Structure 1
Amino acid sequence: MGGFTQKIFKKEDPSVYQDKDSHLERTLRVRDVIALGVGTIVSTAIFTLPGIVAAQHTGPAVVISFILAAVVAALVSFAYAEMSSTMPYAGSAYSWINVVFGEIFGWIAGWALLAEYIIAVAFVASGFSANLRGLISPLGIQLPDALTHTLGASGGVIDIIAAIVIILTALLLSFGVSEAARVENILVVLKVFAVLLFIVVGLTVVHPENYVPFIPEYKETANGAFGGWQGIYVGVSMIFLAYIGFDSIAANSAEAINPQKTMPRGIMGSLIIAATLFVAVSLVLIGMFKYSAYGTTAEPVGWALRQSGFGVVAAIVQGISVIGMFTALIGMMLAGSRLVYSFGRDGLLPSWLGKLNKKHLPNNSLIVLTIVAVILGAVTPFEFLAQLISAGTLVAFMFVSIGIFALRRRAGKDLPEPGFKMPFFPVLPILGFLSTAIVFWGLDSKAKLYTLAWFIFGLAIYFIYGLQHSKKHIKD
């Protein structure tokens, strides 16, 4: 029994990751990392969540929910910045937790993030498909149901547009990170322009009375809590999904130039920009129309612009937002493929997933991620899995927050001194852990149940395959 526990709790030697990841090409600058972060965070959520959450749970106080969610994300991002500046390895939380807590905990953290990346890719691709079809339908272009819905839904066989956009993103990434980063930078500028255009135009038709009362009186509805701090709390748990993209940046630490400075600046910079845009969009959207008006629309930003007589602006904003969904796909597929590469690198999944091609790119892992995402996003109805994106990621965030304590004990010894240190230690790491736990508790019971099922499946893979093939134990 002693040998078994020694194996699963054995910590990885950080020099092993330094050596294995040294073949990855370092091409990402601060601007590239910020673009990846903003591109991943500021996705479809900014055009949908403010209206939906306001109508169902918070009223005008959706702004408070966005700010509180940003505070929680900021606490975790401090921990991510310190970890990534100390251990700039591919795989982010998986690799870090493997070093500071041991293999079994690293696998759990990595498995949690894998759910986020794969399901987020499928989710965004499906959203891209729906929005693109909405844009082209006025032109008389309409695909048959068999090619627009997932298997078994409304006569569907495959969502062909979702499949194509995932494959196109994978092809772009297969040419290299620097090429993908150039495309990402251009698309992020376009996306931010669309958000700013909405804010500027929307401000001209804001009605102050729509902000009163700012926090409506609490009541229970068919959707759960509405109004009061209870509604704001539910809103935070729903909205946190919008911020989690910042963690995908850290997965690319091994491909960043001067990661000790690049990663903290990229992580914190992207989160500040994203939070500012989210709060601004929420304020303008709620000011344009009474929050209850958004309860029946899945695209509140476009609806508000059209109802205000800005049909052309609505078309521009929605058109750019569809194109801009590529940025989220690039960020999540890049991070997901590096995480799968890390599993293969360590032998916890088949080792060919950890191989690099002649251009030093982990394209084997990219191919597998693409196939799985296509199946989820284009063939299998996956709505019931969507909350795994938040739930799984929150588990990883708890590990990283508490991992700062283990990191500080080893910094300057077998680990280098961090290029960035989380301020107000030990208070902020504890607050980061507690706040993510509170947000997790606010998710509905189905999300927690699906998360438990996902982890049971992951642990089965680890004990049946990973533990037997782990390169850490083979070399012993």
Structure 2
Amino acid sequence: MSGKISFFRKFSRKASLKEYTRLDQRLDGNALGTKELTAIGIGTVVGAAIFIIPGVVAANYAGPAVAISFIIAAVVAGLSALAYAEFSSALPFAGSAYTWSNIIYGEFWGWVAGWALLAEYLIALAYSASAWSAYIRGFLSTFGISIPKAISGTFNPKAGMFFDLFAVIAILIVWFLLSRGIRDTARVENWLVVGKIAVIILFIAVGLTAINIHNYHPFIPENEGGTRFGWSGIIAGASQIFFAYIGFDMMTSNAAEARNAQRTVPRAIFATLGLATMLFIGASLVMVGMFKYTKYTNITDPAAWALRQSGHLFVANILSLVALVGIFSMLIGVSLGGSRLMYALGRDGLLPIAMGRTNKSGTPSIALSVLAIISIILGAIFPITLLTNLVSAGTLIAFTMISFGVIVLRRRDDIDHSGFKMPLYPVLPVIAGISSLFLFFQLNIDAKILAGFWFLIGVLVYIFYGTRHSIKNKKQN
């Protein structure tokens, strides 16, 4: 009987603040300021999303009202961002929602949050690499260069496709860059983000000259059944768009490497969310104004396609080049956050302990390598459009846990609460949690099935591996 009690007690045992402070000293703890963190956030949020998602959501869910979907997603993300800002200020450790949940809820629920985020990072990396590949192929096609079908897509022998060469190349380049250390990577990310924002503004300015006001009518098309158009489509579009707002989660995964994290991380979160939302709304309104929303069906590079079709070939080529740069900056942000999450899981023994080790430059190089390898395999085998549903599901689950978690956090006397605090406590944390939960249930059935299957695997991994190898076992014995 005592064995059973001991086993189930493992689920609720909480992590030590002192232990995390000691272990995270292995990372480069003074590498990132507000500017660098904001660049990581913008680089992740305004990546593949701004060049692709507006067209996809307009064609399949919201029509011209795609901007409303972005606003709804931004409001819900903003509420969660307040919770993330408080947590990152009070608990500036690597691993974001996983580490925080481990501290306030206990090991099992920390694992649930970490497992949800792990799907988010792995698939986001594979998706971004696939998007980068689509844009480079589109760019090369304007010069009459055609890439062999065999190396231009996910494994599908019937269609003559075996792997996506450019997606693999993109992930390997990012792996090499990050393995050299976070400081040099942060400098590169700063310049990539500046260039990307400049060209997004150029796209909006040029696109305004090609707008046909009739393309906005009807602004909210009638519902054609399910979540295709109408307000149900707008809400469903917002749940899909949540993939775009994972940037501040990835940013907080690097909190242990931030200078004065209590101030810099919250500032970077709000700067990222505000700037990204304005760019999303502007780009989506211009895109659906240039062409009827139905025209974007099955278009993999909608922003560049719209410019090419409207006669702005030169600007379209510039956009494609910067889209490549922009999506590459997202690859950097996702790889940074994902490797730090894997480091945190390895640090605690819930994944192989080797992932919790760092090299001489303070980089979790083994975690970074494993992240790259798994993402390449995912991108090679599974349809990315299907897997992206799991990204939104994982993000919303983590947002829900952290939003409600503010209430538990405030009750802890052993935590420093002198930094940023979520306003209108406890009402706003509850509203934030309910909002994320509501959007989760608006996801399509594929997303819910995938999420359920993924979490079943996660529970089994925790029971048969995590409970046996957790570093907490050594402290209790």
Give the alignment partner of residue 53 of structure 1, picking from 30, 50, 57: 57
Counterpart of 2:24 in structure 1 is: 21
Give SS of 1:387's match: helix
CA–CA distance in structure 1, aligned partners of residues 18 and 436 of structure 2: 31
Counterpart of 1:194 in structure 2 is: 199
Please tell me whether the aligned partners of residues 62 and 220 of structure 2 are also in contact (alpha carbons under 8 angstroms).
yes
Please tell me whether the aligned partners of residues 76 and 432 of structure 1 are also in contact (alpha carbons under 8 angstroms).
yes
Give the alignment partner of residue 269 of structure 1, picking from 268, 271, 293: 271
Task: Write the letter of the residue equivalent to 1:443.
Answer: L
Task: Write the letter of the residue equivalent to 2:401.
Answer: F
CA–CA distance in structure 1, aligned partners of residues 209 and 136 of structure 2: 28
Please tell me whether the aligned partners of residues 138 and 301 of structure 2 are also in contact (alpha carbons under 8 angstroms).
no
* Aligned length in residues: 471
Please tell me whether the aligned partners of residues 344 and 350 of structure 1 are also in contact (alpha carbons under 8 angstroms).
yes
Counterpart of 2:246 in structure 1 is: 244
Counterpart of 1:454 in structure 2 is: 454
Encode CA deviations 1:80-130: one digit per residue, 9 max, x unaligned.
Answer: 010011111011111000000000000000000000001111111111112
Please tell me whether the aligned partners of residues 243 and 395 of structure 2 are also in contact (alpha carbons under 8 angstroms).
no
Give the alignment partner of residue 217 of structure 2, picking from 203, 212, 217: 212
User: Displacement of 1:418 after TM fit?
Assistant: 4.4
TM-score (norm 2): 0.95
CA–CA distance in structure 1, aligned partners of residues 472 and 291 of structure 2: 59
Encode CA deviations 1:170-207: one digit per residue, 9 max, x unaligned.
Answer: 11001111111111111111111111001111122333
Alignment of 1:128 with 2:132, yes or no, is yes
Task: Write the letter of the residue equivalent to 1:310.
Answer: H
- The percent of aligned pairs where both chains have the same amino acid is 48
CA–CA distance in structure 1, aligned partners of residues 143 and 67 of structure 2: 37
User: Displacement of 1:472 after TM fit?
Assistant: 1.0
Cα 1:52–1:162 shift into 2, 3 Å: closer
Counterpart of 1:469 in structure 2 is: 469
Task: Write the letter of the residue equivalent to 2:419.
Answer: G
User: Displacement of 1:135 after TM fit?
Assistant: 1.3
Encode CA deviations 1:314-344: one digit per residue, 9 max, x unaligned.
Answer: 1111111012211111011111111111111
Please tell me whether the aligned partners of residues 81 and 270 of structure 2 are also in contact (alpha carbons under 8 angstroms).
yes
CA–CA distance in structure 2, aligned partners of residues 159 and 219 of structure 1: 35
Task: Write the letter of the residue equivalent to 1:2.
Answer: I
Encode CA deviations 1:23-80: one digit per residue, 9 max, x unaligned.
Answer: 2112101011111011101112212222232233222221111101100000001100
CA–CA distance in structure 1, aligned partners of residues 461 and 59 of structure 2: 42
Please tell me whether the aligned partners of residues 159 and 379 of structure 1 are also in contact (alpha carbons under 8 angstroms).
no
CA–CA distance in structure 1, aligned partners of residues 356 and 51 of structure 2: 37
Counterpart of 2:331 in structure 1 is: 329
Give SS of 2:377's match: helix
Give SS of 1:359's match: coil
User: Displacement of 1:427 after TM fit?
Assistant: 1.3
Counterpart of 2:177 in structure 1 is: 172
Task: Write the letter of the residue equivalent to 2:119.
Answer: A
Cα 1:230–1:90 shift into 2, 3 Å: same
Please tell me whether the aligned partners of residues 254 and 340 of structure 2 are also in contact (alpha carbons under 8 angstroms).
yes
Give SS of 2:411's match: helix
Give SS of 1:68's match: helix
Alignment of 1:407 with 2:409, yes or no, is yes
Once the two structures are overlaid, the 10-residue window that deviates more, 353-362 or 53-62, is 53-62
Aligned 1:59-78 pairs, distance under 5 A: 59-78=63-82
Counterpart of 2:166 in structure 1 is: 161
Counterpart of 2:311 in structure 1 is: 309
Give SS of 2:246's match: helix
CA–CA distance in structure 2, aligned partners of residues 143 and 283 of structure 1: 32
Q: State the Cα RMSD in Å.
A: 1.6
The unaligned stretches of length 5 or more in structure 2 are none
Counterpart of 1:421 in structure 2 is: 421
Counterpart of 1:281 in structure 2 is: 283
CA–CA distance in structure 1, aligned partners of residues 61 and 363 of structure 2: 45
User: Displacement of 1:380 after TM fit?
Assistant: 4.9
Once the two structures are overlaid, the 10-residue window that deviates more, 98-107 or 321-330, is 321-330
Encode CA deviations 1:145-175: one digit per residue, 9 max, x unaligned.
Answer: 3322333342233322211111110110011
User: Displacement of 1:377 after TM fit?
Assistant: 2.1
Counterpart of 2:370 in structure 1 is: 368
Once the two structures are overlaid, the 10-residue window that deviates more, 206-215 or 309-318, is 206-215
Task: Write the letter of the residue equivalent to 1:146.
Answer: A
Cα 1:151–1:225 shift into 2, 3 Å: closer
The unaligned stretches of length 5 or more in structure 1 are none
Give SS of 1:219's match: coil
User: Displacement of 1:140 after TM fit?
Assistant: 4.2
Once the two structures are overlaid, the 10-residue window that deviates more, 371-380 or 35-44, is 371-380
Encode CA deviations 1:412-446: one digit per residue, 9 max, x unaligned.
Answer: x2111141111111111111111111111111111
Please tell me whether the aligned partners of residues 64 and 293 of structure 2 are also in contact (alpha carbons under 8 angstroms).
yes
Alignment of 1:142 with 2:149, yes or no, is no
User: Displacement of 1:382 after TM fit?
Assistant: 4.4
Please tell me whether the aligned partners of residues 135 and 301 of structure 2 are also in contact (alpha carbons under 8 angstroms).
no
Cα 1:158–1:470 shift into 2, 3 Å: same
Cα 1:206–1:384 shift into 2, 3 Å: closer
CA–CA distance in structure 2, aligned partners of residues 50 and 254 of structure 1: 34
CA–CA distance in structure 2, aligned partners of residues 53 and 18 of structure 1: 42
Please tell me whether the aligned partners of residues 21 and 90 of structure 1 are also in contact (alpha carbons under 8 angstroms).
yes
Counterpart of 1:10 in structure 2 is: 13
CA–CA distance in structure 2, aligned partners of residues 168 and 48 of structure 1: 22
Encode CA deviations 1:363-386: one digit per residue, 9 max, x unaligned.
Answer: 111111111112122455444322
Give SS of 2:227's match: strand
CA–CA distance in structure 2, aligned partners of residues 175 and 27 of structure 1: 13
